[in-house]
């Protein structure tokens, strides 16, 4: 009877434990990350009697957590990928909306500016047309600044997100470390039995970290979980956690780096971050935000440089008293816009950068590395394509040559006396700096400064009898002082075709001037000073020869002669003294709308902007596709985990009935044993 009572009691206790476990499962059906538990039973050791071994009941060995590490890892990886795509897509959509939106994008304002420029060229004497041109130019530069303001806002948003994400990771890591301590202690106190609910809580925290950064987990024999991030940096080891934070970038205060602090050690892991929202945010910053800003900066630089260059070659309506002035800067000159940012708090070297040729500019930043020595050696790296470097351990002259091939120049005011590095940003700040310089309608240089043509009789009738002509195919001069007479051109430049020299034009030029041209075979030629005649063979050169006069001041004048002249035909180049209805330079300015001024003279302004919009749109759309695909994968991973570890209420309800019946049956066994015992007592 004692054995029957013991057997009944063990069954009762086992059923009670099963009921408690099932009830616990039901209670936590909606608890995040909860894993279904099961009480594992085993028969007690049998007792030997004369008639063999007799069972002694049942015992609950342990309460196990139904979890599959492979499924948990699959969810962590899915969370990491989803977080990355979600963060990238959410941010890049904002840039896509800004650039492609007609109310905030650059395309409409570019079109309006060049339309106003064409209208002014069509009506060069119209004050309203000139005023509209200035207004549209200011609208265009305001749009550049608006885009820059939005980029600055997005950069601040990125920095805020980086700070929030690193804080979330740090907080979760601390909680995991504390749970590790509790789990190890309770596992020891339970003689190997695991505190399942604490393990579930830890797994939830690990998955939350995985949403922010890719993680790998290594389990210790004592039950603690070690968590690693990035390229293997330890975030949690046993009961110790590291701290993730942000720190101002050593080159630029606008940028933040990701810093891992392990005790007294500090490691910059920005380039080692992989997966999760952190990588999504960093990828957006590098591949969309900064790339778009640099690309727009390149358009701003090219627009400013090309318009300014052509505007300098025209003539305004501003009468200086000694002649009409030539054009000045139309937009702010961005020649000095490139930034050189030292990577050291107090650098020993001083370096600068200027625009060398806007047509050659890329959309990349660069890093200049200086190795001090006798002499110093230099390395120049294009950050968009860092391998191989443009220059490795070369001279500064080699660095300058490589930089000029990329469209910018580098200057060294003070050579570094220590190993140092510098970040060079040729186009990054341009959209913030571009502005309109011309504010007076009279200062718009729509006219050509030089008039060319055949010499006529005093009554205006034609003197020349040949078919030759002279023209100025491009604006003809670049005069630093702004007044055409400084060419010098106090009197017209005259070309005479004489019978005694049938294969040349006599020309009156200053004694210091030289002339360069390409002959009929395309070979470059130079005539040294003094120049008294220009070679021209009507038999071979009638298709046209373009001559460039190079003055000692550095100014130039270009003109073309074509056709077959007759003896004593004369042509002249003289200052434009009535530029009011002259639109020659205005037409050349308007033609810049379709001129190939970007990507090594292969792309115009609007196409270049279209490429930026298309690039951002493609990246955004690709991220959207990846996000949808990853959402499906994440849902599948969670469904698989739920099918294995999740609580099924129907199953638990059935178990409750089963365990309740078991409990009642065990209670009946105890009752039967008691009745037997009472009957035995009564019989004595």
Distance of CA 568 to the CA centre of its chain: 65
Q: How far apart are CA 668 and CA 120, in angstroms?
A: 107
pLDDT at site 488: 45
- Distance between the two ends of the chain, CA-based, in angstroms? 16
pLDDT tens-digit readout, 113-133: 999 999 999 999 999 999 999
Q: How far apart are CA 482 and CA 269, in angstroms?
A: 55
Comparing 68-77, 181-190, 481-490, 672-681, the range with the smallest average pLDDT is 481-490
Do residues 536 and 505 make contact, with C-beta atoms less than 8 angstroms apart? yes
Do residues 588 and 310 make contact, with C-beta atoms less than 8 angstroms apart? yes
Burial grade of 514 (CB within 10 A; 0-12, 13-18, 19 or more): middle
Q: What is the pTM of this model?
A: 0.85
pLDDT-derived band at 475 (thresholds 50, 70, 90) equals: very low
Share of the chain above pLDDT 90, in %: 62
Q: Compute the average pLDDT of residues 401-411.
A: 96
Compute the CA torsion angle 178, 184, 186, 189 (nearest 10 deg). -150
Cβ neighbours around 398 below 10 Å, total: 17
Q: Which positions ≥6 away from 97 have C-beta within 8 Å?
A: 104
Can you name the residues that pair with 519 across neighbouring β-strands? none
Q: Which positions ≥6 away from 409 have C-beta within 8 Å?
A: 353, 354, 355, 356, 400, 403
Compute the CA torsion angle 655, 661, 667, 669 (nearest 10 deg). -120
DSSP string, 573-640: EEE-S-GGG--HHHHHHHHTTTS--BTTTTB-HHHHHHHHHHHHHHHHHHHHHHHHHHHHHHHHHHHH
**E strands of 592-663, at which residues?**
none
pLDDT at site 473: 57
Q: What is the chain's Cα-based Rg? A: 42
Q: Compute the average pLDDT of residues 650-655.
A: 87
* Pairing status of strand 545-550 against strand 493-497: unpaired
Residue 112: asked if its preceding bond is cis (omega within 30°), the reply is no
Q: Which token pair is 656? A: 């409750």
Do residues 358 and 305 make contact, with C-beta atoms less than 8 angstroms apart? yes
What percent helix, strand, coil does the chain show, rounded to 5?
Answer: 45, 25, 30
pLDDT at site 667: 85
pLDDT tens-digit readout, 40-81: 888 888 887 777 788 888 888 888 888 888 998 999 999 999
Q: How far apart are CA 78 and CA 84, in angstroms?
A: 10
Q: How far apart are CA 177 and CA 262, in angstroms?
A: 14
Q: Which token pair is 470? A: 């002279």
Q: Which positions ≥6 away from 475 have C-beta within 8 Å?
A: 310, 313, 314, 448, 449, 584, 585, 588
pLDDT tens-digit readout, 293-304: 999 999 999 999
Q: How far apart are CA 165 and CA 171, in angstroms?
A: 10
Residue at token pair 């009935």: 657
Tally the residues of the chain: 684
pLDDT-derived band at 259 (thresholds 50, 70, 90) equals: very high
pLDDT at site 160: 96
* Pairing status of strand 225-229 against strand 233-237: antiparallel
pLDDT at site 1: 47
Q: 356 vs 483, which has greater pLDDT?
A: 356
Q: How far apart are CA 155 and CA 286, in angstroms?
A: 11
Cα atoms found within 13 Å of the Cα of residue 683, Cβ hemisphere only: 6
Ramachandran region, residue 33 (left: φ > 0; alpha: ψ -120 to 50; beta: rest): left
Do residues 356 and 407 make contact, with C-beta atoms less than 8 angstroms apart? yes
Q: Which token pair is 420? A: 């140092």
pLDDT at site 492: 78
Q: Which token pair is 369? A: 């590395």
* Pairing status of strand 47-49 against strand 243-248: unpaired
Q: Which token pair is 627? A: 């996000």
Q: How far apart are CA 329 and CA 337, in angstroms?
A: 15
């Amino acid at each position: 009877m004692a054995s029957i009572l013991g057997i009944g009691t063990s069954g009762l206790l086992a059923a009670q434990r099963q009921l408690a476990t099932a009830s616990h499962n039901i209670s936590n059906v909606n608890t995040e990350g909860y894993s279904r538990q099961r009480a594992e039973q085993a028969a007690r050791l049998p007792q030997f009697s004369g008639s063999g071994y007799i069972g002694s009941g049942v015992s609950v060995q342990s309460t196990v957590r139904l979890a599959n590490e492979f499924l948990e890892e699959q969810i962590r990886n899915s969370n990491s990928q989803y977080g990355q795509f979600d963060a990238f897509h959410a941010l890049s959509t904002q840039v896509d909306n800004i650039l492609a939106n007609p109310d905030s994008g650059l395309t409409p304002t570019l079109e309006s500016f060049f339309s106003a420029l064409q209208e002014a060229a069509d009506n060069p004497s119209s004050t309203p047309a000139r005023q509209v041109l200035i207004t549209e130019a200011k609208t265009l530069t305001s749009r550049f600044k608006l885009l820059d303001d939005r980029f600055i806002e997005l950069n601040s948003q990125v920095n805020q997100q980086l700070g929030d994400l690193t804080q979330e990771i740090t907080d979760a890591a601390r909680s995991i470390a504390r749970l590790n301590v509790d789990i190890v202690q309770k596992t020891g106190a339970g003689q190997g039995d695991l505190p399942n609910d604490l393990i579930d809580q830890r797994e939830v925290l690990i998955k939350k970290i995985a949403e922010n950064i890719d993680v790998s987990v290594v389990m210790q024999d004592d039950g603690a979980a070690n968590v690693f991030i990035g390229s293997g940096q330890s975030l949690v080891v046993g009961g110790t956690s590291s701290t993730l934070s942000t720190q101002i970038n050593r080159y630029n205060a606008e940028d933040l780096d990701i810093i891992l602090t392990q005790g007294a050690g500090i490691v910059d892991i920005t380039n080692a971050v992989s997966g999760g929202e952190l990588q999504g945010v960093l990828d957006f910053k590098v591949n969309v935000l900064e790339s778009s800003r640099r690309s727009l900066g390149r358009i701003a630089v090219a627009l400013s440089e090309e318009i300014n260059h052509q505007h300098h070659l025209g003539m305004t309506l501003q009468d200086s008293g000694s002649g009409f002035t030539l054009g000045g800067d139309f937009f702010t000159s961005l020649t000095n816009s490139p930034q050189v940012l030292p990577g050291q708090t107090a650098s020993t070297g001083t370096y600068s950068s200027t625009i060398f040729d806007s047509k050659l500019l890329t959309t990349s930043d660069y890093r200049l590395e200086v190795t001090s020595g006798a002499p110093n050696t230099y390395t120049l790296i294009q950050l968009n394509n860092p391998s191989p470097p443009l220059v490795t351990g070369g001279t500064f002259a080699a660095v300058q040559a490589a930089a000029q091939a990329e469209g910018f120049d580098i200057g060294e005011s003070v050579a570094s006396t220590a190993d140092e590095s510098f970040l060079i940003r040729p186009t990054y700040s341009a959209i913030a700096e571009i502005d309109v310089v011309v504010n007076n309608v009279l200062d718009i240089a729509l006219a050509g400064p030089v008039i060319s043509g055949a010499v006529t009789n005093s009554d205006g009738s034609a003197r020349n009898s040949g078919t030759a002509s002279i023209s100025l195919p491009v604006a003809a001069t670049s005069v630093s002082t702004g007044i055409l007479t400084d060419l010098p051109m106090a009197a017209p430049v005259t070309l005479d075709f004489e019978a005694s020299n049938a294969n040349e034009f006599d020309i009156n030029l200053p004694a210091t001037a030289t002339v360069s041209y390409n002959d009929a075979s395309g070979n470059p030629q130079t005539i040294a000073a003094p120049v008294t005649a220009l070679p021209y063979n009507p038999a071979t050169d009638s298709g046209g020869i373009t001559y460039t006069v190079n003055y000692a001041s550095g100014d130039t004048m270009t003109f073309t002669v074509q056709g077959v002249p007759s003896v004593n035909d004369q042509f002249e180049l003289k200052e434009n003294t009535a530029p009011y209805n002259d639109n020659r330079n205005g037409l050349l300015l308007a033609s810049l709308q379709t001129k190939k001024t970007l990507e090594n003279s292969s792309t115009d302004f609007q196409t270049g902007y279209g490429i930026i919009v298309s690039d951002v749109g493609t990246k955004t759309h690709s991220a959207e596709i990846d996000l949808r695909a990853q959402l499906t994968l994440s849902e599948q991973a969670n469904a698989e985990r739920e099918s294995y570890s999740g609580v099924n209420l129907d199953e638990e309800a059935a178990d409750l009935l089963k365990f309740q019946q078991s409990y009642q049956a065990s209670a009946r066994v105890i009752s039967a044993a008691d009745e037997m015992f009472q009957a035995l007592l009564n019989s004595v």
